[in-house]
Chains A and B, each alone.
Chain A
Amino acid sequence: MASRRKLLLKIIILGDSGVGKTALMNQYVNKKFSNQYKATIGADFLTKEVMVDNRIVTLQIWDTAGQERFQSLGVAFYRGADGCILVFDTTSMNSFASLDAWRDEFLIQSSPKNTENFPFVVLGNKIDLENRAVSTKRAQKWCQTKNNIPYFETSAKEAVNVEQAFETIAKSAIALEKEEIYNDFPGDIILDRDNKPNNGAACNC
């Protein structure tokens, strides 16, 4: 019963400014690309309902400001995140180098229960561009060292791998959720809660 209820997953997109976070989010949710995005100030989010493992899942995707200076705001937005998408620009070595910092900062600020297995996914964006600076091998290597984070090379512009990447993060977030349900053993409580309204309804009639 518990697994049947609708699920809301909060996904945070992080990465240096200008790596294409907003574009990725919009490509995934609205299926369109615009080169008119402005620098994100504060935070915005979009939601999308998807079917994952035969469940309807609502993804709440948060797009954040890229400049690390604005991370102090993070706490308010990162809180309660179920997954995190780290994005870098394949044409910018610096943006790749920042991944470490972004990951650490996120783990500190959102302080998830399960730091080790927290669902991450790394996206190397802008593969449609010519002047590539970060090789697939390098990126993969980094992901391996960080507990085998799934790695995707994406293009928000040409909608390459975007769908797959978000699906992956949704799946691993759900997997973690399930695991936690088992661990915390809240099954009884949930059943209880589900029964109550029915009883009440019966009484009222």
Chain B
Amino acid sequence: MMEEAVTKKYVHEESSSITSLCAAVEACLSQGIRRRVLGLFKSGSTTALLHKVAKNFEPAAVISQKVQDIENSDPNRPSSSSGESTNRSSLILSNSISVTKPPLQKKNSANSGLSSQPPRYLWIRLALFDKVLARIIDHLVQNSSKYYEKDSLIADEDYGSILSSLLVGPCALDFSRTKTQDHMWTDPPADELVQRHRISSGHSTLPACRTPHLNYRRSLHAVNSEENHRQIPISAKDYVESLHQNSRATLLYGKNNVLVSPKDMNEPMPGYLSLHQTAHSLTIKWTPNQLMNGYSESDGTDKSIYWEYALNVRVDDIVYVHCHQHGGDNGGTIVLVGQDGVQRPPIHFPAGGHLLAFLSCLENGLLPHGQLDPPLWSQRGKGKVFPKLRRKGRILSQKTEVPEEESSDYVFQIISKTRHEDFLSASKEFIDAKHWFSSSNKHVSPRARAHLISSSTNSSSSSCKSLSIEPGGNGMEPVSPPPSLSSDLNNEDCKLEIENTKSSPGETIQLVCETMKRQIISRAFYGWLAYCRHLCTVRTHLSGLVNAAIISGEGAENGLTTEKWAELMKDDGKDSQTEVFRLAYYGGVAHDIRKEVWPYLLGHYTFGSSAEEREQLDETTKHSYETTMSEWLAVGAIIRQRDKEIVAASLAKLSSESTSGEQPPPTPALAQELSNDVFEDNISLSDDDPPIVDDYEGENENENEGEGEDEQKKKKVVATKCPPNSLEKHSSSDNTEILQSSSTLPTLEKVVEIMNNKMDKRHSAPCGGNIGHLSVLTGNGAVPRSVSPDEGMGDEADIEDEEEDKSSDPSKQNGQSQDQNLITDNSQTITKPMSVVVTSNQSVDSGNHSETLNGGSLSQPIVEASENEVQENMLAVCTGDEDGEGGASGQRSACISPASSQGGVYSSELIETFGLNIHRIDKDVDRCDRNYWYFTPDNLEKLRNVMCTYVWEHLDVGYMQGMCDLVAPLLVIFDNESMTYACFCKLMDRMGANFPHSGGTMDTHFANMRSLIQILDSEMFELMHQNGDYTHFYFCYRWFLLDFKRELVYEDVFTVWETIWAAKLISSAHFMLFIALSLVETYRDIILSNVMDFTDIIKFFNEMAERHDCKAVLTLARDLVLQLQTLIENK
């Protein structure tokens, strides 16, 4: 057993062992304990022992006090079942220790939840956390003879002392420290948190989003402020401790056996009166003796009732202090009157000048911010005395018919040198909230409390001031001067009345009463006024977020079923839009008909359109989709080609880096040529323009390969500049082509066929030419297009290998043609500095050349050739790439000459942009939902097509990560590229602006989230604000960007999406905000109880992704919308 304790000591950090440690201690203690001792108590646990010890040993008494408090707090809740109450007590326990350390809480709750008994080892646990366990045990050991049999463990000299000393270790640990960074990262993962939450809370705390209503209501009534005191302190321990001098509050005054007559009690009760000063305020506390330590063991009866009697009065709330002296040495009575005019129970001081002492302490405590009016008089030698002028003894004596000259009553006003400076400096963010709180002095919520600290005032005058100041500070708010004026007047009245008391004390009481009455009314009015203003702000902030009209969800629980859909669409759904949306919003859409319904929800189809119209629309959509697709496929092919070149180039570089040594760099001009040659050689494709290839690598590295071979080629190139040579070259290149064509004949035929089709299409329906100057030339573009990536990839690879050896000639030819071009065609072609133009006669010739060779089988190329002629005069840019492409296509289908490929005239910029986009798309499409059954390679290709088409049409926006995630669910539903594309476009009308650099809607979302949380769950807002302020809501980023696509499983995504779409018409165009809010609220208790900060919450939600209860979340979201709608409607 000892060893166990020892080991526990070392693993204590994992607080799961705390329970076992406690068990060990319990076992140690209970062994050999005297029956006699236990027999006195009903329970058989060592708790009884504790109570016994408590009589003689102070720390034990404190602990036993706490234990009782906790145990007693249970029966207070009659409604809760026993299981719940134990849960509660364990919660209270963990609260009282202010431990947010989750494992502990778990152990407690798990323990109690399972056994349905009060948490075991409660006192040991408490003592441990209070670090007095060791001392108690020590005490036990020392007095072992009294409690234990002789042969017990504790009584044993050695073991006993060892045990107590062992426990010193754990006790020294600060268990009650709040969550530190150390703990943060050993926190359990999200699912454990959720699990734990389920265990620990059969009852969930009422989400504060509901409480504001209650609070408003309450503030409207001038509720007896005694309710304040009835709030049983969350932690009894804290409360008792707070009565002592501690670091937070200075004890200014303390007196025991002060009598107070609580409202429902006939007899005055004795108790401990204390005056505490904290940084912010003065507090007067009175605790019935029953709650104080000495009485704790008296009996097991319900103590909680005493908590209701305990007083806890903030001096800030007190305006008047009425003193009634009973003359001579009989003590006196003090009645505190609050700002709301409500009297606190009278406090009777025992004889002996304690009243005066208390008042002087109070006066001291008020300084420097406030004072008692009238001030106590200082008399030399005697200390403070009551001011003589303010004597009003006659009133009392008249009433009581006791002509006691000495007895005197005083009314002191507590005046603060107002704190409006503090008040103003308080953050303006909360100004509307403060509005309300400052005038209603109810402590309604933690947040209100927080504000009151800064904004509540010491006296009515200051409160009036703060009110009158506030509208000014608020600026934008419509200021209503009368209230503030009247409040000032009101205040004046008060003062006047006090003045009056001097002359006519008889009327004074009456006047004071009237003043109070008036004050009560004015408070109520301010409360109401502030409440209105508050709601006004809410309105302006949030009214834009929800639709004004509330459409009920009656009968819509089952959503849009197949039958209902059929019914509604009888006459093409002319009038059924609202109904469809309503059903979809409240109950979702049956999966089978999603395919039909979604286009309506997204606005692709309009309600009332006929079947033919829709068919037509489909046709058009499909057609334009295909057109666009063929456009970008062409460019895509070019890009693919260039990629290969780059790969090859970098391979070359790598090899050059590894093989070549340091060689003297050739002259710049030569280097240029050489670098080109290098590419051509290694890539075996004719490329004159290596723009992509590597801006990082200096020419030098290329030059490293400037070996003899290159030099040779250089010479060759120069040599081939004369026409005869060029002819020769032609023939050689033709030979190559023929060779190739023979090897790839089947593919060739296929390609030609496809090409013809495409050409036909192009002629019948010339595309809308998104890329201005392209439209004319698309005919040419069709060639590379037709060589679509799907066809003969394998062939391509084969060919390439062949090419490696053979194509040096054509490439040189190209180099030559380039040269010639530069020399001869300067007038026709414009050369950009980077890209060299190769739309030269030479190359066209070569095209014609090949055509004649293959002319028999193809009529098309002739057209192309003629177009090529036209094209020559066009601004041909970056045809180097085209040339390269031509090389590729030429290799595959010899008949389609390199020349024909030059038809596609795209600016290099365009190609580069699209290339970049396509690379990104490829990367993300590959990674998109690979584990979802739908996304086979074929379907991923579809996804890619849709994505590329969209990006091609929106090149200014470009591809952004996340778009794939938005397309994917649409594609899953439609399984049709063109429909997916059309609906995606519709979707992007709204979602597009969420993406960075394209609208800034995201920031608006965040701002709205902020307002919503602030209004609907102030407690949560407070937490977010105080824990490193993550009210920027970046943790919601992915939610909004993808409409929760990553947060939910596919089936739920469908539901959530259609709900969002439908909500636009039914409840709110910003429904995603409410889903987000609902997600936060769903885990509200977990977030609050674990005091999550930004990183915690990110981690939590990332881990919870795809594990949410979508139905519950949606229901809550709809409720939240309704709540806001109601709030706005009610003004």
Q: At the interface, yes or no: A158 with Cβ under 8 Å from chain B?
A: no
Q: Is B1095 an interface residue (CB 8 A)?
A: yes
Q: Are B930 and A36 in contact (CB under 8 A)?
A: yes
From residue 1023 to 1040 of chain B, which have CB atoms closer than 8 A to chain A? 1032, 1034-1035, 1037-1038
> In the complex the two chains form, what is the Cα distance from A131 to B182 in whole Å?
44
Given A8-B181, A42-B1041, A65:B961 Cβ within 8 A: yes
B contact residues around A180 at 8 Å (CB): none
A110 to chain B, nearest CB (A): 15
The residues of B that contact A195 with a CB separation of less than 8 Å are none
Complex Cα spacing A131 to B694, Å: 16
Q: Mark B638-665, 1 if CB is under 8 A from A, else 0.
A: 0000000011001101100110000000
Question: Which residue of the partner chain, among A35, A38, A43, A97, contacts B695 with CB atoms under 8 Å?
Answer: A97
| A132 on interface, CB distance cutoff 8 Å | yes
Q: Is the CB of B135 within 8 A of A42?
A: no
What is the distance, in angstroms, from B127's C-beta to the closest C-beta of chain A? 11
Nearest CB on A from B276, distance (A): 16
* Total count of chain A residues near the partner, CB < 8 A: 46
Complex contacts, A42 vs chain B, CB 8 Å: 1034-1035, 1037-1038, 1041
A73 and B1037 contacting across the interface, CB-CB below 8 Å: yes
**Are B1042 and A41 in touch, CB under 8 angstroms?**
yes
Q: Tell me if B962 is interfacial: C-beta within 8 Å of chain A.
A: yes
Closest Cβ of chain A to B1003, distance in Å, is: 10
In the bound complex, CA of A96 to CA of B135 (Å): 65
Identify which of residues 888-923 in chain B touch chain A, using a CB-to-CB cut-off of 8 Å.
919-920, 923
Contact B996–A73 (Cβ < 8 Å): yes
Tell whether A52 is near chain B: CB-to-CB under 8 Å: no
Q: Is B1098 an interface residue (CB 8 A)?
A: yes
B657 and A135 contact, CB distance less than 8 A:
yes
B181 touches A197 (CB 8 A): no
**Complex CA–CA separation, A17 to B916 (angstroms):** 12
Q: Within 8 Å CB of B1046, what residues of A?
A: 38, 41
In the complex the two chains form, what is the Cα distance from A200 to B130 in whole Å? 12
Measured CB to CB, the nearest residue on chain A to B1033 is A76
> What sequence of 0s and 1s flags, for each residue 53-85 of chain A, a beta carbon within 8 Å of any chain B beta carbon?
000001010000111011011001100000000
Contact in complex: A38, B927 (CB < 8 Å): yes
How far in angstroms is the closest Cβ of chain B from A87? Answer: 14
Q: A97-B696, A132-B654, A205-B131 are in contact. Are A41 and B185 (CB under 8 A)?
A: no
CA distance A37 to B960 in the complex (A): 17
Question: For A18, what are the chain B residues with a Cβ–Cβ distance below 8 Å?
Answer: 923-924, 927
Across the interface, name the chain A residue whose C-beta is closest to B1030: A76
Is B964 in contact with chain A by the CB < 8 A criterion? yes
Write the chain B residue with the least CB distance to A58: B185
Which residue of chain B has its CB nearest to the CB of A67? B961
Contact A39 B996 (CB under 8 A): no
Residues of B within 8 A of A67 (CB): 920, 960-961
Q: Does A179 touch B at the CB level, under 8 Å?
A: no
Which of B960, B961, B995 counts the most chain A CB atoms within 10 A? B961
Contact residues in A for B1099 (Cβ distance below 8 Å): 44-45
Q: Is there contact, CB below 8 Å, between A41 and B658?
A: no
CB of A81, distance to nearest CB on chain B (Å):
12
Are A41 and B996 closer than 8 Å at their CB atoms?
no
| Residue numbers in B under 8 Å from A70 (CB-CB) | 961, 996
Contact of B650 with A133 in the complex, beta carbons under 8 Å: yes
Known: A17-B923, A66-B961, A201-B174. A45 touches B1098 (CB 8 A): yes
Query: Given the interface contacts A41-B1038, A66-B961, does A8 sit within 8 Å of B185 by beta carbon?
Result: yes
Find out whether the CB atom of A41 lies under 8 angstroms from the CB atom of B965. yes
* Contact flag A39-B182 (CB < 8 Å), given A17-B920, A60-B1095, A93-B646: no
What 1/0 flags go to B941-981 for Cβ under 8 Å of A? 00000000000000000001110110000000000000000
Q: Does A137 contact B (CB under 8 A)?
A: yes
B961: A residues at CB distance < 8 A: 17, 39-41, 65-67, 69-70
Question: Which chain A residue has the least Cβ–Cβ distance from B697?
Answer: A138
A38 contacts B928, CB within 8 Å? yes
CB contact under 8 A between A39 and B132, given known A70-B961, A76-B1032, A76-B1034: no
Is the CB of A115 closer than 8 A to any CB of chain B? no
Q: How far is the CB of A101 from chain B (nearest CB, A)?
A: 12
Within the complex, what minimum Cβ distance (angstroms) separates A41 from chain B? Answer: 5
Asked whether A204 is an interface residue with its Cβ less than 8 Å from the other chain, the reply is yes
Complex: A13 Cα to B926 Cα, angstroms: 22
Measured CB to CB, the nearest residue on chain A to B646 is: A93
**How far does the alpha carbon of A70 sit from the alpha carbon of B997 in the complex, in Å?**
9
Complex: A70 Cα to B130 Cα, angstroms: 49
Asked if B845 CB lies within 8 Å of chain A CBs, one says: no
Residues of B within 8 A of A39 (CB): 923-924, 927-928, 961-962, 964-965
Does A51 reach chain B (CB closer than 8 Å)? no
Within 8 A of A (CB), among B518-556: none
Q: Does A47 count as interface, using CB distance less than 8 angstroms?
A: yes
- By a CB distance below 8 angstroms, the chain B residues around A77 are 1034
Residue of A nearest to B931 (CB): A36
Q: What separation, in Å, do the CA atoms of A138 and B701 have in the docked complex?
A: 11
The interface residues of chain A lying within 8 Å CB-to-CB of B59 are: 205
Contacts of B920 in A (CB 8 A): 17, 67
Q: Scoring B residues 222 to 249 as 1 if CB is less than 8 Å from chain A, else 0, what string do you get?
A: 0000000000000000000100001100
Closest to A76 in B: B1034
Q: Does A146 contact B (CB under 8 A)?
A: no
Map CB proximity to A onto B121-152 as digits: 1 under 8 Å, 0 otherwise: 00000000011100100000000000000000
Q: Mark B657-676, 1 if CB is under 8 A from A, else 0.
A: 11000000000000000000
Question: Do B241 and A204 touch (CB < 8 A)?
Answer: yes
Q: Closest residue to B184 on the A side, CB-wise?
A: A8
Assembly CA distance A132 to B653 (angstroms): 11
Interface residues of A in 87-116 (CB under 8 A from B): 93-94, 96-97
Q: In the assembled complex, which residues on chain A have CB atoms less than 8 Å from the CB atom of B1034?
A: 42, 73, 76-77
Complex Cα spacing A132 to B657, Å? 13
Given that A36-B930, A42-B1041, A204-B241 are known contacts, is A133 also in contact with B647, CB under 8 Å in the complex? yes
Complex formed: what's the CA distance from A96 to B300 in Å?
75
Does B578 touch A at the CB level, under 8 Å? no
A58 to B695, CA, bound (A): 40
Closest residue on chain B to residue A22 by CB atoms: B927
Q: Tell me which residues across on chain A come within 8 A of B246, comparing CB atoms.
A: 203-204
| Bound: A162/B968 CA distance, A | 33
Q: Which residues of A contact B156 (CB under 8 A)?
A: none
A41 pairs with B654, CB closer than 8 A: no
- A6 contacts the other chain (Cβ, under 8 Å)? yes
A38 partner residues in chain B, CB cutoff 8 A: 927-929, 965, 1046
Known: A45-B1098, A67-B961, A72-B996. 11 other contacts (CB 8 A): A40-B961, A44-B1099, A47-B185, A49-B186, A60-B185, A67-B960, A93-B646, A96-B696, A132-B654, A133-B650, A205-B135
A-B contact pairs, 9 of them (CB 8 A): A40-B961, A42-B1035, A44-B1102, A67-B961, A69-B960, A97-B696, A197-B174, A201-B174, A204-B241
Minimum-distance CB pairs A-B, first 8 = A18-B923, A133-B650, A42-B1038, A42-B1037, A58-B185, A67-B961, A76-B1034, A6-B182
- Residue positions of A touching B, CB distance < 8 A: 5-6, 8, 17-18, 35-45, 47, 49, 58, 60, 65-67, 69-70, 72-73, 76-77, 93-94, 96-97, 131-135, 137-138, 197, 200-201, 203-205
Chain B interface residues (CB < 8 Å from chain A):
59, 130-132, 135, 174, 177, 181-182, 184-186, 241, 246-247, 646-647, 650-651, 653-654, 657-658, 694-697, 919-920, 923-924, 927-931, 960-962, 964-965, 995-997, 1032, 1034-1035, 1037-1038, 1041-1042, 1046, 1095, 1098-1099, 1102
